[in-house]
Amino acid sequence: VLNNYALMQFFKQKREELHRMSALNATQTKKMLAEMELRRESELNKSDVKSPTYTKDLLDQKMEELRMFKESKRSSVKITATRAHLAEVEKQLELGKRSAAGEVTSTRTRDLLDKKLEELRMLKESKASSVTITATRAQLAEVEKQLELEKRSAAGEATSTRTRDLLDRKLEELRLMKVATSAAATSTKTRDALVKVMRDIDVERDKLAKCQTLAEYQKQQALLQKMKEANALRGDTDVAFMLDCTGSMSSYIKAAKEHIKDIVDEIRNRYRCQVRVSFVGYRDHCDGQRRIETLDFKEDVNVFKIFLDAVVADGGGDTCEDVFGGLEAAINLSWSGRNKCLIHIGDAPPHGGRFHDLGSGADGDYSLNDSDRRGLRIEDLIQKIKGLGIDYTFGRINNSTDKMLRVFDDLGGSGFSRCSDLADVKNFPFVAIESISATIECNWKDMSGALLPKPKFSRYSAVTDVSQKSLKSFLIAKSQPRWNKVKTQPVKITQCEVSDGNKLRLAYKYRSASVKMSQHPFAEGSQRISYFGIEIGNSWFSKLDSKASVVLKTFKYVYADEVGDGRDDFINIVESQAIANYFAKEFNKVKPSVAKSIHFLDVKLVQAEAQDGSPVYYTIEDIFKDYDSEFKKFNSNFGFVNSVDFTLTLNAFSHWTYDHTKHYLMVVDLQGILDKERYVLTDPAIHCKELRFGSTNLGKVGMVTFFEAHECNKVCALMGLKSNRYMKDGTPNLDLAS
């Protein structure tokens, strides 16, 4: 009994030891698996190279892309599916593992098999670099050796023949995978070859883009040169001054006579074209033969002045005048120039309650709305003006003519009349010059836009196709609104600056803001209109009638098919201003002491939201002080040099940008104010040998045109600027002020 009891205690003790060993083995197994998982994740995180098989496939793909770029032949590409094979091996290994787990009876065999299969999976998934490829092959050999030993161990412990067959099959798959890995895994040399192929592809892409850009640029320049030559041969500009010649208009008749020579000389110098001028004076029906006085187009301004000497400001019956008769006489002039401009100046509307609100007491023909007493209809007159291609500008003296202009625009289309403020007769020459300039520049852009295609491969457009455009509906209002009644609107602002001057690389910054903007624009140029505005949070704003601190500008034309007036057109303006300001800062560093400094306003892109949720774009910049009286245009992008307000500094600056960039670009179209000893400028144009900077970039043709009108001065001489063979005279003029 004692022996039996001792034996039972012995077996009980052994059973407890067996349970403890089993629990310990399970804990060690879990710990080992966790360590293997951590090692696998660590290997994956350390790896920064694509899998060898992926590298081989990518090399094949890039080699094929390079061949397609060089030969321009499309063909199908067949790439071996090594990754699919590896995925299949992984799947079979997982199935084998599960099968072995069910059949191998030895805990040690099963744990070791799991460990080795996990190592095999980690090796397969690891993205080995060129340094670890040799180590990988060594590890594969070690795994192969250990599995062979495991196979032998399993043969002694497992009674299932199927288990041994499974191990044999997995060992064979390991060998095949090793071969495939050895074939696919490439050395550093192969990867370097892949990098070279990808670099060659980028080079080929750049060559292709440059060839296309160069071809488009050359085509553009050839067309611009032909247009320039045609404009010189048939570039006449016809300007007709149509004035109310009743008693209240004597000062305007006198201004026309006194300033006509300066106006014509300015246009001839600015655009290198011939100018013909004519005059139409109208009064009222009661004035008999003196109702209409006409001088047809003449090139000699002295003939124009002699004619005006005989024109006397008198006549007129009631308040309204025979405007229809004046328009009829203007239509019957001998218009023949490429550019046709009619400048109408008057302080009274035509007859008929349709055109004014003065009442019957001021108009003897107040009830005549469809036609005047001679049977003339305004619909017919406006259609004839449009049919002749005449650009109509009205010099507004008072508000009695506002209703007339609205009717004209309703019949002629939005913006049929260009309205300029002429309440002060001193503005007469300025209004005349700007009106004629707008006509010429718009016609030039229309012709260039219709002839020059927009590049499809670049976000930059050298020209904008404006063959299908219409003027937006707007009314010029010089006075600022009461800002406390103007709604604040949220906007997104994009700012641009030059980050690398050598390569002209640009960097952008973005922020949100709020602005107030006037309902009506206060000024217009040949392409854009300007609104008063206040940027909330960026300027002091507390009084109810605070003055505007910024100007918001947008294009005044609406283009068909969303060509123009889009974000890229505004980005071109912002980028041009940023680059111009960069060169201004560089110029200020090296300029001689006799030259004034130059600064361009910081212009940003503003994205607002229309009522339908669509984006609306503007540019925003600080407002000029004394804008009306001080703002001047000093040169243009097509050869104009302001001879009245000539500046050595700015004309030398345009020349300097050409030399400084080794003839790559030129900053022109300089306009702004002189603030003490500093020019503050905005809205420049940049001529460039690439298709950048928008429609005002006329490339080499624009640069040549600048030099044809440029005379080097003492600033040019002091800066050592080179003379150009297109200059009229390369000798610097040293007698002018800066």
Q: State yes or no: pLDDT of 369 exceeds 60.
A: yes
Return the pLDDT at 135.
52
Range of weakest confidence among 103-107, 519-523, 580-584: 103-107
Return the pLDDT at 684.
94
- Widest CA span in the chain: 159
Whether 343 is covered by a domain: the verdict is yes
> What average pLDDT score do residues 417-436 get?
88
Residues 526 and 383 in one domain: no
Residues 414 and 505 in one domain: no
- Continuous segment of H or E residues that includes residue 447: helix 428-451
Which residue would you say has higher pLDDT here, 30 or 409? 409
Alpha helix (H) residue ranges in 536-606: 567-590
CA distance 244 to 329: 13
- Domain coverage including residue 169: 134-178+189-234
- Residue 462: pLDDT band by 50, 70, 90 thresholds? very low
> What average pLDDT score do residues 284-300 get?
94
Q: State yes or no: pLDDT of 233 exceeds 90.
A: no
- Residue 633: pLDDT band by 50, 70, 90 thresholds? confident
Residues 437 and 565 in one domain: no
What contacts 570, CB < 8 A, 6 or more positions away? 605, 617, 618, 619
Q: State yes or no: pLDDT of 537 exceeds 70.
A: no
Residues 301 and 436 in one domain: yes
Q: State yes or no: pLDDT of 131 exceeds 50.
A: no
55-75 residue pLDDT tens:
556 666 666 666 665 554 343
Q: For the chain, what is the mean pLDDT? A: 76
Whether 427 is covered by a domain: the verdict is yes
CA distance 111 to 101: 9
Query: Which two tokens mark 657?
Result: 């940008």
- Residue 76: pLDDT band by 50, 70, 90 thresholds? very low
Amino acid at 639: G
Residues 221 and 248 in one domain: no
Whether 255 is covered by a domain: the verdict is yes
Residues 214 and 269 in one domain: no
Q: State yes or no: pLDDT of 227 exceeds 90.
A: no
Residues 402 and 526 in one domain: no
Which residue would you say has higher pLDDT here, 444 or 652? 652
Residues 224 and 249 in one domain: no
Q: State yes or no: pLDDT of 416 exceeds 90.
A: no
Return the pLDDT at 170.
65
Q: State yes or no: pLDDT of 564 exceeds 50.
A: no
Whether 118 is covered by a domain: the verdict is no
Residues 562 and 624 in one domain: yes
Out of 440-444, 578-582, 676-680, 698-702, the most confident range is 578-582
- Residue 455: pLDDT band by 50, 70, 90 thresholds? very low
Which residue would you say has higher pLDDT here, 226 or 588? 588
What contacts 701, CB < 8 A, 6 or more positions away? 221, 224, 225, 228
What contacts 683, CB < 8 A, 6 or more positions away? 525, 573, 577, 669, 671
263-278 residue pLDDT tens:
998 888 777 788 999 9
In 3D space, the residue among 656, 684, 657 whose CA is nearest the CA of residue 668 turns out to be: 684
CA distance 576 to 125: 52
Q: What CATH number does residue 564 fall under?
A: 3.20.200.10
> What average pLDDT score do residues 143-167 get?
56
> What average pLDDT score do residues 364-370 get?
85
Q: State yes or no: pLDDT of 458 exceeds 60.
A: no
Which residue would you say has higher pLDDT here, 526 or 653? 653
Residue 360: DSSP 8-state: G
> What average pLDDT score do residues 591-618 get?
93
Out of 40-49, 54-63, 210-219, 375-384, the most confident range is 375-384
Claim: this prediction has a pTM higher than 0.85? no
433-452 residue pLDDT tens:
888 988 887 776 655 554 44
- Residue 464: pLDDT band by 50, 70, 90 thresholds? very low
Q: Is 441 exposed, middle or buried (0-12, 13-18, 19+ CB in 10 A)?
A: buried
CA distance 377 to 328: 10
DSSP string spanning 302-332? HHHHHHHHT------SSS-B-HHHHHHHHHT
What contacts 50, CB < 8 A, 6 or more positions away? 58, 127
Q: State yes or no: pLDDT of 690 exceeds 60.
A: yes
Whether 59 is covered by a domain: the verdict is no
Which residue would you say has higher pLDDT here, 230 or 312? 312
Whether 365 is covered by a domain: the verdict is yes
- Residue 152: pLDDT band by 50, 70, 90 thresholds? low
Boundary of a domain, candidates 420, 446, 472: 446
Q: State yes or no: pLDDT of 737 exceeds 50.
A: no
CA distance 162 to 168: 10
Please give the tally of structural domains in the chain. Answer: 3
Q: What CATH number does residue 250 fall under?
A: 3.40.50.410
Out of 433-442, 590-599, 638-647, the most confident range is 590-599
Q: State yes or no: pLDDT of 242 exceeds 90.
A: yes
Residues 503 and 611 in one domain: yes
Whether 453 is covered by a domain: the verdict is no
Which residue would you say has higher pLDDT here, 471 or 384? 384
Q: What whole-number percentage of the chain has pLDDT above 70?
A: 61
Q: State yes or no: pLDDT of 629 exceeds 80.
A: no
> What average pLDDT score do residues 689-710 get?
87
- Residue 157: pLDDT band by 50, 70, 90 thresholds? very low
Whether 257 is covered by a domain: the verdict is yes
Q: State yes or no: pLDDT of 51 exceeds 90.
A: no
Residues 262 and 351 in one domain: yes
Alpha helix (H) residue ranges in 332-401: 378-387
- Residue 473: pLDDT band by 50, 70, 90 thresholds? confident
Residues 404 and 502 in one domain: no
